[in-house]
């Protein structure tokens, strides 16, 4: 049976035309605007050897089935600063060959790549390709939203890559997806827009106050915590409350010791998955057969050695098989893989880890966030404001970096 063609919106269609044009492209837009969906659609037309997709973090690379930006460009942890990193990497013959032979790269979650890393990557591309053209003539497609998660920087100043001269030199054609595919409720869309801009407007105050509730720990909604330890504690507490036997499913690892260690840190699945019949779980990836997406939740109705049955919320029971998550080296070879069910306990997760997921219900405490975009990422996971339960909030938690606002103003819209 042939599959029906995927329907793209009008703005996604014109964005796809630009992606096909051969230009350097910056694809951006708010949460839920379909950036990842569009890139996945476009990548079906590409040879991943000629145009690999690079992730900003190891965890994202494992989910994407790609490589990290830092490993692809041989940057490592950039020890000794830009000059030392460039000198070290430029002596790597395999790196130079790799940069010469690709047509270009797609950089996902560009907001998390520091400007310094972008600058060294471009210099290495020019060296490898013996050309002073931007990126030595290599094509760059950058995807992401600077109003979401910022780059990790050691100093107080955030090293946004759009502030680096390399960004301007790259001559990006900018594509701003403005239509939210996830949310259709006008007031909620306005609230998300205000929070994205860092604006604690009267309507934001009223809206957030209306959604503050006493924490009902028995409510099935997912809790989003800013810190990992709080999410883990809450998951364990809820699992302990179920009067049934714990089932422990060991993750099975293959590969070299060094790469297995990296995979243990980066893979979305734990070393041991501990479940009970009746516990709530969340799916960690999109199913190729479309039975679930990243963020779909439900509860376990059966556990066997090689399969788990999950009754989806407001949906049918599905059989879940184990799947493989892998970490690749800079050349794209699989160096380690892990086999495990693509499930995690769904009582709680972190705001960082929720990025990309769609939720129907969430509980969140917005009282003491510290990072730009944190509050926006949390709120924008929802399909509808009906599913929002706030344990508390503070205007100081709604943060945006003014440089990001200025940057989007220069693109004629945010």
- Given a contact cutoff of 8 angstroms between Cβ atoms, the answer to whether 322 and 339 are in contact is yes
Q: pLDDT averaged over the chain?
A: 88
Burial of 414 per CB tally in 10 Å (0-12, 13-18, 19+): buried
Q: How many CA atoms lie within 13 A of 228 on its CB side?
A: 4
Say if residues 174 and 162 touch (Cβ distance below 8 Å): no
pLDDT beyond 70 at 1: no
pLDDT score, position 228: 87
pLDDT-derived band at 6, boundaries 50, 70, 90:
low
pLDDT tens for each residue of 10-24: 888 889 998 999 999
pLDDT tens profile 96-126:
999 999 999 999 999 999 999 999 999 999 9
pTM to 2 decimal places: 0.84
pLDDT band (50, 70, 90) for residue 3:
very low
Torsions phi, psi for 181 (to 5 deg): -80, -15
**pLDDT of res. 59:** 76
User: How many whole angstroms separate alpha carbon 394 and alpha carbon 380?
Assistant: 17
State the pLDDT at residue 347: 92
For the segment 159-173, the average pLDDT, to the nearest whole number, is: 94
- Helix, strand or coil, per DSSP, at residue 196: helix
Segment 260-307, tens digit of pLDDT? 888 888 788 888 999 999 999 989 888 888 898 888 889 999 998 889
pLDDT tens by residue, 57-94: 777 777 777 788 988 998 887 888 888 888 888 888 99
Say what the pLDDT of residue 102 is.
93
Distance separating alpha carbons of residues 256 and 399, to the nearest angstrom = 42
Phi-psi region of 111 (alpha: psi -120 to 50; beta: other; left: phi over 0): alpha
Q: What percent of the chain has pLDDT over 90?
A: 46
Pairing of strands 297-303, 307-312: antiparallel
Structure confidence by residue, pLDDT tens digits, 306-357: 899 999 988 899 999 998 888 888 788 888 889 999 999 989 988 888 877 7
**The pLDDT of residue 4:** 38
User: Residue 165: is its pLDDT beyond 50?
Assistant: yes
237-269 pLDDT per residue, tens? 999 999 999 999 999 999 888 888 888 887 888
Mean pLDDT calculated for residue range 384-407 = 92
Q: What b/e readout covers 108-136, taking b as 16+ CB neighbours within 10 angstroms?
A: bbbbbbbbbbbbbbbbbbbbbbeeeebbb
Please report which residue ranges of 73-198 form alpha helices under DSSP H: 81-90, 93-101, 115-129, 165-169, 186-196
Between residues 183 and 382, which one has the greater pLDDT? 382
CB neighbour list of residue 106: distance below 8 Å, 6 or more residues apart: 39, 43, 51, 52, 53, 54, 141, 143
With b meaning 16 or more CB within 10 Å and e meaning fewer, what string describes 283-296? bbbbeeeebbebbb
């Amino acid at each position: 049976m042939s599959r029906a063609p995927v329907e793209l919106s009008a703005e996604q269609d014109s964005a796809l035309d630009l992606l096909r044009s051969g230009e350097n492209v910056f694809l951006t837009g708010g949460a839920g605007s379909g950036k990842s969906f569009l890139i996945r659609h476009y990548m079906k037309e590409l040879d991943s050897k000629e145009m690999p997709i690079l992730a900003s973090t190891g965890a994202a690379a494992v989910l994407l089935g790609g490589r990290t930006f830092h490993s692809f460009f041989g940057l490592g942890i950039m020890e000794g600063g830009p000059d030392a990193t460039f000198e070290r990497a430029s002596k790597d013959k395999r790196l130079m060959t790799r940069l010469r032979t690709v047509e270009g790269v797609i950089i996902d979650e560009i907001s998390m790549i520091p400007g310094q890393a972008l600058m060294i990557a471009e210099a290495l591309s020019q060296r490898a390709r013996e050309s002073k053209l931007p990126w030595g003539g290599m094509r760059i497609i950058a995807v992401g939203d600077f109003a979401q998660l910022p780059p990790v920087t050691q100093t107080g100043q955030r090293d946004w890559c759009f502030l680096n001269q390399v960004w301007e030199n790259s001559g990006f054609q900018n594509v701003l997806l403005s239509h939210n595919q996830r949310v259709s409720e006008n007031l909620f869309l306005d609230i998300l827009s205000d929070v994205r801009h860092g604006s604690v407007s009267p309507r934001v105050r009223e809206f957030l106050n209306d959604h503050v509730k006493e924490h009902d720990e028995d409510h099935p909604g997912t809790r989003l915590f800013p810190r990992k330890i709080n999410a883990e504690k809450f998951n364990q507490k809820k699992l302990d409350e179920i009067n049934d036997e714990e089932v422990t499913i060991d993750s099975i690892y293959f590969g070299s010791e060094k790469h297995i260690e990296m995979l243990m840190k980066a893979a979305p699945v734990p070393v041991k998955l501990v479940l009970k019949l009746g516990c709530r779980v969340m799916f960690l990836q999109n199913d190729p057969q479309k039975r679930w997406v990243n963020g779909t939740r439900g509860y376990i109705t059966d556990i066997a050695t090689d399969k788990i049955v999950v009754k989806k919320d407001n949906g049918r029971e599905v059989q879940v098989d184990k799947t493989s998550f892998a970490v690749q080296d800079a050349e794209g070879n699989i160096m380690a893989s892990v086999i495990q069910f693509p499930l995690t306990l769904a009582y709680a997760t972190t705001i960082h880890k929720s990025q990309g997921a769609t939720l129907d219900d969430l509980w969140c405490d917005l009282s003491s966030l510290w990072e730009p975009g944190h509050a926006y990422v949390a709120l924008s996971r929802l399909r509808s404001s009906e599913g929002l339960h706030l344990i508390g909030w503070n205007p100081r938690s709604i943060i945006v970096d003014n440089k990001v606002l200025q940057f989007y103003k220069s693109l004629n819209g945010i």
